[in-house]
Structure 1
């Protein structure tokens, strides 16, 4: 049985001056699923994510969380509901160690002073639970690889025990091994029952970890597709708005044998 959505957007619209960024967008996000949000540049992905995260309040439409209507007017509102966002720039402090980054703004105090022992213990427990491997929780973030920095940023988002985690291009500019490390973590978030929104331009990553793909085109919905059973060409066509593109033409060429490769009876 499909779980009820933890987050629902109904008819969400957003305008910036003369630019209509979003028009009547619907989106359902369910626990224990990875929903990939894809679209060309300017499709409205970033704007939609920022409306969910409270950066840009919606102009019209409705947002429901756990079936109840909610108003997300600022980032604090989203955090209070249980929505965590990891932006592409990660917003990590390079001069601080892993523990300090994980608890930045959520420091644990005892008798008025920072409880470094408890924060270090909880950091180790969280990273172990997520199978995140780093040399030490006490080394500066600046000394970590790109993949390690990304997983630390994702782990920090879990400190507040969110129900929805938004990942904005988490594998951008990462190598193959580092990308695999991040995608493994995305799968572990799903296994923990979290609802994950994955924004990505990399269709290989999307097809590796996503359950559903929601396509935006020119600020509007242009289809929601299950990853299982949906071809790469179908999703590309939804993104570009055209069935005839380089991907589909290459598929057709490969599917059609050259004249001298056709069976003898067809050539006679």
Structure 2
């Protein structure tokens, strides 16, 4: 009788490492897409100087100081202000007219990373006269990323790209109106985050925490497996008011979700959906 092939040792080590991270610190990456998580963990192992994932697991279990550096590899922190300008242009031209009908607004930016999307929405809402009646909830699982987001400070060499995106997204003013520069950094005006609550929240383990008219979660679910994608979409559905809006990343879709029937296409080409009445 032929024996089933043994699971590669590396895969076993990765499973044990992710289980240790969950059991010890409640960060759950066990249902992230395997190819993506393996690639990021290999990079972390090399850059952090470990010979094996087992050695990394031992360090994680016995040193909390290891968690922050590891999270920086496991969570994707690459973004830009007004990234994919067509998305924000569609928000401004198609979604904002509906948002104007509410006396007050709540918006959830899920997986906010270093805050670029948060400030993009804040600037757009300010230009449209809606920021003062909007509460923006910006969440992420990475404490270090949230600290960067709270500061609103970005390297000055990134501003040219931010500025181009802002104009292509239908910006009504100059982006320079919203920041000051010093020591090679751009510091965004604190009035932009006066209406923002930054908080840790996991789409994997946490529940709905507010009712809102708009959820934007872009380029996060592409790293989840199907079970976790369904869980996240279920959270968004339960968070949204009737006829509320959901924005996803360009490579993401609701097509195969068990919750797809709760939504209709609103701006199909920009992956903006609207929750139904039910």
Larger Rg: 1
Q: Which has the higher helix share?
A: 2
TM-score by length of 1: 0.26
Q: Which has the higher strand share?
A: 1
TM-score by length of 2: 0.25
Structure with more contact order per residue of length (Cα contacts < 8 Å, sep ≥ 6) = 1
